Amino acid sequence: MLSGRAGSNKHKGLYPNALYPDGGFHHEKHTQELSKDLANAKFAGIDFHKRTSVVAIGDTHGGLIQQVTLINEERIIREYFQGFVGLECVIESCRGYEWLVELLEELGHTVHMGDSRSIKLIAVTRCKTDKIDSKILMELLAKQFLPTCYQPSATERLLRELVRHRAQLVRTSVKHKLRVHANLAKENKCIYAPFSLKGRQQLKEVKLSEPRRQKVDDDLEVIDFLELKIAEQDAKVKYVARSNPDVALLKTIPGFDVLTSIAFIAEVGDISRFRKANQVAAFLGLAPRVYSSGDTRRNAVSLNAAPN
């Protein structure tokens, strides 16, 4: 599984103790001395970054066996982790972790998603390095003190991306529509419903200065493109909704249509993780929260009530 050959690599000076792209593995202890300890490996704390990941391997009691820095290439990660059987791994929730989670699960390992904010409150250290962070993650998992957050399935992640992508397209379209309204207002022009069929014809005929006419035409061209893409996303949402029985149930709630139902399913995920209905409301930012101290009283909504 592990080779004592250091190999030559441009990253060697930057990332000591790393598994390099050429397949070589460089560590402080000799591989043969680690083989017996690695056979008892049970936990892995992974401090994930964009280009590298620092991995702390621990035994059944959380004792540190080995720490390595792996370059984030699928071949390298696979080569290292396929030598272990049934590891309990922990990664802090962050951007771009999905591919690593899917790869580790494919190799038969269990992946826990650590709650970054809660971990920071629990594990306060005077010094902060990637090695320290990975070791803390591994120890918290081994001692069953790890605060976790909900880890959506691959299907839920794809559904979230679909809904959020559509929402982003709509927001961008609205921005360009507001730009059209602003350019009309600058020349005291008013067109009711300028993006309806009748309104679009009026937009073509309205007299504007040359610079603003060019801006309006550019915005209209972008709007047309975005509306086409939004229609494509709507078709995908409706296709997904037809195969999901929960959509029909959610549509019985007043105000829920197909899009709202799919967005609810995508963002909430497994509803059984909520013990009470008010936790769902708090997760969605609909439950008011009171902050009171002396003569100061503030009302706010809570987005922090999602259970593990």
Q: Degrees (nearest 5) of the Cα angle 301, 307, 97? A: 100
Residue (of 219, 218, 221, 217) closest to 206 by Cα position? 217
Query: What pLDDT score does 308 carry?
Result: 46
Whether residue 176 has pLDDT greater than 60: yes
The CATH architecture that domain 18-142 belongs to is 2-Layer Sandwich (3.30)
Query: What is the distance between the alpha carbons of residues 113 and 152, in angstroms, rounded to a whole number?
Result: 10
Block residue for tokens 């962050």: 94
pLDDT, tens digit, for every residue of 187-246? 999 899 999 999 999 999 999 999 999 999 999 999 999 999 999 999 999 999 999 999
Residue (of 169, 166, 165, 168) closest to 224 by Cα position? 169
Whether residue 61 has pLDDT greater than 70: yes
State mean pLDDT over 66-76: 94
Block residue for tokens 């059944």: 60
Block residue for tokens 């650590």: 114
Burial of 242 (0-12, 13-18, 19+ CB in 10 A): exposed
Whether residue 33 has pLDDT greater than 60: no
Query: What pLDDT score does 58 carry?
Result: 94
Q: Residue 22: which pLDDT band, with cuts at 50, 70 and 90? A: very low
Whether residue 142 has pLDDT greater than 50: yes
Whether residue 28 has pLDDT greater than 50: no
Residue 44 amino acid letter: A
Find the range with the poorest average confidence among 67-71, 278-282, 296-300: 296-300
Q: Output the DSSP codes for 247-283.
A: HHHHTTSTT--HHHHHHHHHHH--GGG-SSHHHHHHH
* Domain boundaries along the sequence of the chain: 18-142, 154-240
Residue 32 amino acid letter: Q
